[in-house]
Amino acid sequence: MPQSLSWTRTGAVLAGLAVVCGAFAAHGLNTHFADIYAGQTRVVAGVTVPLAEKYLEDFKTGAEYQMYHSLALLAVGLVSTMRPSRSLNWAGWSFLGGIVLFSGSLYALTLLNIPKLGMITPIGGVLFLAGWGFLAHATCPKCAPTTDPAI
């Protein structure tokens, strides 16, 4: 039971922080980015866009994915109260790592203007995918045992 509470608590805290990041993006970053990145552009899918707009969208994407995967952590916590398994632990760690690497790299990239941090983002995306796979495995009655003493 303590493991399930840890994932639930972690998901709740990260969901709350996702709301903070989304509010920050909606109410403060647009002006900040417009000031810092004035006149700078990036080519995205063959179209030149103002860097301030691109970075604002990237930051919002980080907050959005953080929220989705914080909710996934809540699901991991809830499912593990009924059906604890190693797969659920792997799902939780994958979602947490994905939030740190995917969302965290987007936050840092946009706030610090370090494009090389974008190389970390896909690793977080792969961790998100792994987390969903582990969660699916953990909820499959024939795939994962209902109890696992080695958790």
Two structure tokens written together for 18: 């996702």
**Distances in whole angstroms, Cα of residue 103 to Cα of each of 40, 55, 137, 146:** 23, 13, 25, 32
Predicted TM-score (pTM) of the model is 0.90
C-alpha to C-alpha distance for 134 and 100, rounded to whole angstroms:
18
Question: pLDDT tens across 87-110, in order?
Answer: 999 999 999 999 999 999 999 999
Q: Answer yes or no: is pLDDT of 128 > 60.
A: yes
The better pLDDT of the pair 147, 27 is held by 27
Write down the pLDDT at residue 144.
56
Structural domains present in the chain: 2-138 (1.20.140)
Contacts of 54 (CB under 8 A, 6+ apart): 42, 44
